[in-house]
Structure 1
Amino acid sequence: MIDRIDETLFDALERVRDVGPLGTDDEASDERRDDDAVRTDGGSDGWTDAESPTSRTLHGVVHGQDGPYACGEGGLLLGRDDEWTILLERGPGVSDNTLRDIAATDDGCRVWFAGDSGALGYYDVADGHLSDYTAPMEKTSTWEAIAVAGPTGEEHVRIANGSGEVLDCTVEDGCPVWGDVVEPGGGSTIPGVTAGPNGFYAIDTSGGAYREPATLSGESDASDDTEDAGDEWEHIGVRNAEVDFQDVWAGDDEVFIAGADGIAYWYDPDCENWTPLHVGQGALQAIRARGSDTLAVATGGRLYEREASIRWTELESPTEKSLFGLALARSSADVDDGLATAPLDVAVGAGGVVLERDRSDR
């Protein structure tokens, strides 16, 4: 008898748990369907956990002419058409050296990537051609970051390593021409470098930020003095920086640095002034802006979006895995000659996680 009573109570508790203490069965079912919908679409903020073809960590992502590309552990290169697929299993040198960063030409027709043991190469989007330029200038240390400016075949490239060095490269007659190797700072690791309209920017782990002006980097009206451009990096901050820097991004009239402890720094080139911003929790790993959109990703699967000049909101995320790379959707205004665009914001990270947000209505 006692066993039967216990079974009856158990059944009743299960019934209460399923139906809820208030409301009808239909109301409870509707609530459960709503909850399921939230879990499926990654939350009201629209981020979804895309199906990834790998469990290897992905460190960087960028939009090419035909869609996003991501690089990561073991020399992995992924591309996305209707779905994400593996393009390279073992990197540009058919080795398993991890690729740390990825960048695309202005027209998106060529994707460059760099990483461990001097790994360096590019992938031509149109024909799938791979070129390996590993260990340029006999440099075999880890490339931490890469930035590209200009169209395919005329691009200017900056590659930075863990020894605080930046190698400049210009593509001439279809072939890379290597310039000087310089140290913008004091030799600290350079985890981020980016190409902006006003030149190249770099950061190091000593809290330094540096700029190479556009006229020297070859982006506009370059003269015969460009072979000495690598010597012209100028220190522009950051005064009293209190966190480690992870990433840098530059736009028309502002520069962002992503740092530890949820801190970002915003730079106003006109006033030559840096302002610290509290974004949220976790170590910020990447920050990007496009138009009115500014987003950052961090450890623990955190996603942040700037709502106003100083206010940031944490978005609902479908993962708790740390995110390391971020690429924002391109619009038709971002590319020339009617090139294809990909209406997706993409974040990548640990364990091969790939998050997407459809921005076709942007």
Structure 2
Amino acid sequence: MTRHEGGDDFVTFYRQYTKTWVHALATVALTAFGTLTTLHRLFAVVAIAAYLVPLVVQYLRYSAEPEAEAEASDETDARPTGRGAGGATGTNGGAEAKATAGQSATEQPTAERPTAEVARTTETASSDESEPADRADRAEPAESADPESPEPSTSGPEWTAVDSPTDETLFDAAIAGGDAYAVGSGGVVVAGSGGDDWRVVLSDGPGAGGNALRGVDAVTDGGVWVAGDGGAVGRIDPETGRHVDYSAPDGDTSNVAAVAAAGESGVETVLLADGSGRIRRGRYREGELSWDDPVKPGSGSSIAGVVLRDDEVGYVCDTNDGAYRTEDGGRTFESVGPVGADGTLADAAATGPRTCLVAADDGVVHRNDGTTWTPERAGERTLTAVAASEVLAVSCADDGSVYERVRAGEWDRRDAPTSASMRGAAVEASAAVVVGDGGVVRRRGSRT
């Protein structure tokens, strides 16, 4: 549970406690023993105890967390890590290890540290609980940072406006090496690397169809994949700007809600998600693209987000509280839900081979550590996208708010002034962009 300093400590604890399975079980016990008071009044004492004892125990554990975290931090700081600051982009919400950024550097075994210990350290460091590797790039957040506060935080790199070349609504973004890409209504695709050099790559989509593009993703040193309404699918070569139309895969013109891509240049895996809860897997090999039959990870609810960490591991979330992981590049999926969200899931991001984030429209981001889902409140507005790398997680909302995850369980609202609804986010290492209505683009940069 997230701990906040100050007088509202118990209120913060209790708000999070009510979302746990412990509280649910205690409530059931309270109800069960309460009904037995018709037999004997002493059951009322048992009922109250069944509810209060778990509450007290959980609060004592919660109160002790800061000290335990401090000790763990001291031990971690004293240990050399040798990790790089690599990361990977996320699109349609983004992901730490979508292939747009490639794999991050991994620790190598040393004579002093056995291989097994290095593997454990690597897994811990690559999870979203780890300290950011780019400390010089990110200032320490205020101790009392409260993601529910209406005042944005000014710590860390600033978010600045991009001189966008379009006023079309932008639905999604991706970062590939030096360039960021965004797609939107009318089939527009824009790209740029800085604040003032953005350009229109496509004005009316693959094959000049003019269909709205809902998703974009990119492969490291490879293609940029775009997809959207009417089965629109295309691949853009970032080197030449040339695009190839792959629309209507196997004759299917269903609207594509999201796209994910991973692999190496010329050997790329593409996943298309549609509103019928289907995932279609494509294999691109040196100009030739073949499609598998679509599969349904869940019950058929609309897919809200899809992400590939690499060409094997990926995640999907749907609008019925479902979350799914693939370990074979989208051929099959296993359930890792239900998430337990009060709101409707909106997007997914991978933070490790067994960990992910999903954003919901009630302002909460849910984190999965491989076994358990933990809610983390970012804000009060509808979250529309989430993206993550090894060192940075970003979410955005329908009122123009942008949030960064500053530590485990805590998100800060950043100063990225705009009244436009933000709809998509992308992250690569410590770089990030968010996009939205009216062609608005905000990018994360260094403070001057």
Q: Same fold (TM over 0.5)?
A: yes
Tell me the residue number matched to 1:110: 223
Tell me the residue number matched to 1:306: 405
Deviations 1:296-352 (A, max 9, x none): 111100011112101111111220111111122447xxxxxxxxxxxx421110111
User: Match for 2:338 among 228, 238, 242?
Assistant: 238
Q: Which runs of 5+ in 1 are unaligned?
A: 1-41, 218-228, 332-343
Q: CA deviation at 1:85?
A: 1.0
Q: CA deviation at 1:173?
A: 3.9
Normalising by structure 1, what TM-score? 0.76
Tell me the residue number matched to 1:101: 215
Q: CA deviation at 1:292?
A: 2.7
Does 2:372 correspond to 1:268? no
Task: Mark the CA change 1:101 to 1:360 in structure 2 (over 3 Å): closer, same or farther.
Answer: farther
Q: CA deviation at 1:242?
A: 2.0
Tell me the residue number matched to 1:132: 245
Secondary structure at the counterpart of residue 442 of structure 2: strand
Normalising by structure 2, what TM-score? 0.62
Measured in 2, the distance between the counterparts of 1:146 and 1:135 equals 14
User: Match for 1:284 among 383, 406, 420?
Assistant: 383
Tell me the residue number matched to 1:294: 393
Secondary structure at the counterpart of residue 418 of structure 2: coil
Q: CA deviation at 1:43?
A: 6.4
Does 2:203 correspond to 1:85? no
> Higher mean Cα deviation, 288-297 or 141-150?
288-297
User: Match for 2:440 among 349, 353, 360?
Assistant: 353
| Higher relative contact order, chain-length normalized (CA < 8 Å, sep 6+) | 2
User: Match for 1:150 among 259, 263, 266?
Assistant: 263
Is contact 1:286-1:326 (8 Å) kept? Answer: yes
Is contact 1:66-1:125 (8 Å) kept? Answer: no
Q: Percent of counterpart pairs with the same letter?
A: 36
Task: Mark the CA change 1:151 to 1:313 in structure 2 (over 3 Å): closer, same or farther.
Answer: same
How many pairs were matched up? Answer: 291
Measured in 2, the distance between the counterparts of 1:85 and 1:135 equals 27
Is contact 1:265-1:274 (8 Å) kept? Answer: yes
Q: Which runs of 5+ in 2 are unaligned?
A: 1-152
Is contact 1:118-1:136 (8 Å) kept? Answer: yes
Tell me the residue number matched to 2:184: 72
Is contact 2:158-2:447 (8 Å) kept? Answer: no
Does 2:343 correspond to 1:256? no
Measured in 1, the distance between the counterparts of 2:443 and 2:164 equals 11
Q: CA deviation at 1:289?
A: 1.9
- Structure 2 matches for 1:22-33, cutoff 5 A? none
- Structure 2 matches for 1:324-335, cutoff 5 A? 324-330=423-429
Q: CA deviation at 1:201?
A: 0.9
Does 2:285 correspond to 1:186? no
Q: CA deviation at 1:141?
A: 1.5
Measured in 2, the distance between the counterparts of 1:176 and 1:287 equals 29
Paired AA for residue 185 in structure 1: G
Is contact 1:325-1:349 (8 Å) kept? Answer: yes
Structure 1 runs of 4+ aligned residues shifted over 6 Å read none
Measured in 2, the distance between the counterparts of 1:313 and 1:66 equals 26
Secondary structure at the counterpart of residue 320 of structure 1: coil
Measured in 2, the distance between the counterparts of 1:89 and 1:328 equals 24
Secondary structure at the counterpart of residue 149 of structure 1: strand
Structure with the bigger percentage of strand: 1
Measured in 1, the distance between the counterparts of 2:418 and 2:271 equals 33
Does 2:264 correspond to 1:165? no
Q: CA deviation at 1:130?
A: 0.5
Q: CA deviation at 1:49?
A: 1.6
